[in-house]
């Protein structure tokens, strides 16, 4: 057998199988992103998230697979995320609540960025990303099932979620994950897999209809529009059928009160969130958030300290203080306002750059081969579009879900790069690598 023949045989890709790193990473995703220990308190174990993080890092360092390289720092998305982490760290000394800001960076934000890096570095190929997509579907379905089983319905007909994520957050996660269902529906998924996807879609759409989230509904409409008009790589008839099925499930499973609430979108000026309607409405909060950013333009009021600013710096808080009363410590309800107020103007620029670079990375993958990577890039684009639109009304700038999504995007860019395509996964164990690649064998 000659040199060329041996080399071709040696670099033939093999099916990506589960290994220890993949198993531990999956556990970390379930714990850190989907909060399985909150959903199922019986399996909660102190220190499990930190233990999983350290285990994944340890396994990455020991891993000898050349496709798993710790070179993700070269990616523009990663650099923007690290700039944000640096600004968050620098904001601690001048924070309105330094102790809380320090705890937030160490226990939450730093781990989110680490999760992004670990996911990106662990990707060997599209097969690993396909597994992560399945993990997303399982995670959001589990959240929805537990919320439906344990949640209560308030006077407005909205589901009161008794877990880590509230109803608006859950609606956001549902919309951001649904495009992966369309991607996984394709081959090689068989009848059993498609039955699981259909059951999962029914569960999440039932939950989505009960959240009553108007921001989530707007995100759903935008994602549906993208799937119909901007998605390539899947037949138009299949995309239309998928969107129609989701719409039918929503109409069939949501209550009349849900659509009554959604209709209020058509008359925004009558809502309490409109400017001047309520001191704790979103527009009034956003206005104060911009004032905080202008007052503290360099490093903001401190990472995680927006509610503290509401309770101490807001004009309403100062006025009520004269009467011995407190003002509500509200969240920002917008990631751009949240970042701008907490990390200053540079933080806002870095956050916008993070999202723009993520979209550009996906656009680059969509334009190049192979076809499977391009289709997955389309699906992740739909996920990111859903997150950005839905997140516009939530305080999720540092959310672990966002950074897991960014990790998948960076991992996809690595897997689709020409350099990665030429990395031999393994050599034939029966042939000495040096001998096989340097000379012919007889």
pLDDT reading at 18 higher than 60: yes
CA atoms within 13 A on the CB side of 245: 18
Q: What would the mean pLDDT of 358-376 be, rounded to a whole number? A: 87
The residues pairing with 153 across neighbouring beta strands, listed in sequence order, are 159
Instruction: Kindly state whether residue 3 falls inside one of the protein's structural domains.
Output: no
The DSSP-derived string for 298-366 is TTTT-TT-HHHHHHHTSHHHHHHHTTT--------SSHHHHHHHHHHHHHHHHHHHHHHHHHHHHHHHH
Q: Provide the 10 A C-beta neighbour count for residue 236.
A: 11
pLDDT reading at 300 higher than 70: yes
Higher pLDDT, 38 or 118: 118
**What is the band of 425 on the pLDDT scale with cuts at 50, 70, 90?**
low
Q: What is the pLDDT of residue 420?
A: 57
Average pLDDT, the chain: 84
Instruction: Kindly state whether residue 9 falls inside one of the protein's structural domains.
Output: no
Q: What would the mean pLDDT of 435-440 be, rounded to a whole number? A: 34
Instruction: Kindly state whether residue 307 falls inside one of the protein's structural domains.
Output: yes
Instruction: Kindly state whether residue 4 falls inside one of the protein's structural domains.
Output: no
Question: By mean pLDDT, which of 2-16, 32-46, 250-264, 399-413 is the weakest?
Answer: 2-16
pLDDT reading at 436 higher than 70: no
Q: What is the pLDDT of residue 143?
A: 92
Closest CA to 261 of 216, 318, 228: 216
Long-range contacts of 62-70 (CB under 8 A, 24+ apart): 63/21, 65/124, 65/425, 65/426, 66/423, 66/424, 66/425, 67/123, 67/124, 67/125, 67/420, 67/423, 67/425, 68/21, 68/121, 68/122, 68/123, 68/124, 69/121, 69/414, 70/121
Report the percent of the chain where pLDDT is more than 90.
Answer: 51
pLDDT reading at 441 higher than 60: no
For 131-179, the pLDDT digits (tens) are 999 999 999 999 999 988 887 877 767 888 777 888 899 999 999 999 9
For 52-61, the pLDDT digits (tens) are 889 999 998 8
Instruction: Kindly state whether residue 7 falls inside one of the protein's structural domains.
Output: no
Per the structure, how many domains does the chain have? 1
Question: By mean pLDDT, which of 240-249, 274-283, 369-378 is the weakest?
Answer: 274-283
Instruction: Kindly state whether residue 10 falls inside one of the protein's structural domains.
Output: no
Closest CA to 59 of 114, 14, 122, 117: 122
**What is the band of 294 on the pLDDT scale with cuts at 50, 70, 90?**
very high
> What does each C-alpha distance from 123 to 128, 414, 417 come to in angstroms?
6, 8, 12
Q: Provide the 10 A C-beta neighbour count for residue 434.
A: 9
Range of the domain at 57: 16-435
For 66-122, the pLDDT digits (tens) are 888 766 667 899 999 999 999 999 999 999 999 999 999 999 999 999 999 999 999
Distance CA 304, CA 286 (A): 16
> What does each C-alpha distance from 209 to 203, 206, 241, 298, 343 come to in angstroms?
10, 5, 20, 41, 35
Across the chain, how many H-helices and E-strands are there? Answer: 21, 2
Instruction: Kindly state whether residue 11 falls inside one of the protein's structural domains.
Output: no
Contact indicator for 158, 212 with CB cutoff of 8 Å: yes
CA 242, distance to chain mean position in Å, is: 22
Distance CA 334, CA 339 (A): 9
Higher pLDDT, 5 or 191: 191
Instruction: Kindly state whether residue 8 falls inside one of the protein's structural domains.
Output: no
Closest CA to 372 of 16, 19, 7: 16
For 302-347, the pLDDT digits (tens) are 999 999 998 888 877 777 766 667 777 888 999 999 999 999 999 9
What pTM was estimated for this model as a whole?
0.87
Q: Provide the 10 A C-beta neighbour count for residue 131.
A: 16
């Amino acid at each position: 057998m000659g040199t060329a023949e041996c080399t071709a045989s040696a670099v033939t890709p093999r099916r990506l199988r589960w290994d220890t790193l993949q198993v531990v990473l999956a556990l970390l995703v379930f714990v850190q992103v989907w909060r399985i220990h909150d959903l199922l308190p019986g399996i909660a174990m102190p220190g499990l998230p930190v233990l999983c993080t350290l285990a994944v890092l340890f396994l990455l360092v020991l891993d000898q697979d050349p496709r798993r390289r710790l070179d993700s720092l070269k990616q523009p998305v990663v650099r923007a995320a690290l700039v944000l982490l640096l600004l968050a760290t620098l904001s601690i000394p001048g924070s309105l609540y330094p102790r809380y800001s320090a705890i937030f960076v160490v226990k939450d934000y730093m781990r989110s960025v680490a999760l992004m890096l670990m996911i990106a570095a662990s990707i060997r190929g599209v097969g690993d990303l396909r597994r992560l997509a399945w993990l997303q579907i399982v995670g959001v379905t589990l959240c929805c099932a537990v919320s439906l089983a344990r949640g209560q319905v308030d006077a407005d007909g909205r589901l009161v979620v008794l877990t880590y994520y509230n109803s608006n957050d859950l609606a956001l996660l549902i919309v951001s994950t649904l495009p992966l269902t369309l991607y996984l529906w394709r081959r090689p998924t068989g009848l059993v897999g498609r039955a699981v996807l259909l059951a999962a879609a029914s569960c999440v759409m039932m939950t989505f209809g009960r959240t009553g989230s108007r921001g989530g509904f707007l995100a759903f409409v935008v994602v549906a529009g993208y799937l119909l008009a901007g998605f390539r790589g899947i037949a138009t008839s299949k995309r239309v059928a998928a969107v129609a099925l989701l719409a039918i499930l929503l109409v069939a499973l949501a209550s009349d009160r849900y659509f009554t609430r959604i209709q209020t979108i058509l008359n925004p000026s009558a809502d309490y969130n409109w400017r001047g309607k309520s001191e704790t409405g979103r527009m009034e909060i956003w206005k104060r958030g911009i004032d905080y950013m202008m007052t503290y333009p360099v490093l903001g009021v401190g990472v995680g300290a927006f509610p503290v600013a509401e309770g101490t710096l807001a004009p309403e808080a100062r006025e009520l203080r004269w009467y011995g009363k407190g003002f509500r410590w509200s969240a920002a309800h917008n990631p751009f306002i949240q970042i701008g107020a907490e990390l200053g103007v540079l933080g806002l620029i870095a956050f916008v750059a993070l999202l723009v670079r993520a979209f550009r990375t996906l656009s680059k993958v969509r334009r190049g081969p192979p076809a499977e990577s391009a289709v997955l890039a389309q699906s992740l684009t739909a996920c990111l579009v859903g997150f950005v639109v839905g997140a516009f009304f939530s305080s999720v700038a540092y959310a672990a879900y966002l950074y897991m999504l960014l990790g998948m995007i960076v991992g996809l860019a690595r897997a689709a790069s020409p350099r990665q395509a030429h990395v031999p996964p393994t050599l034939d164990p029966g042939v000495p690598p040096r001998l096989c690649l340097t000379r012919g064998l007889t």
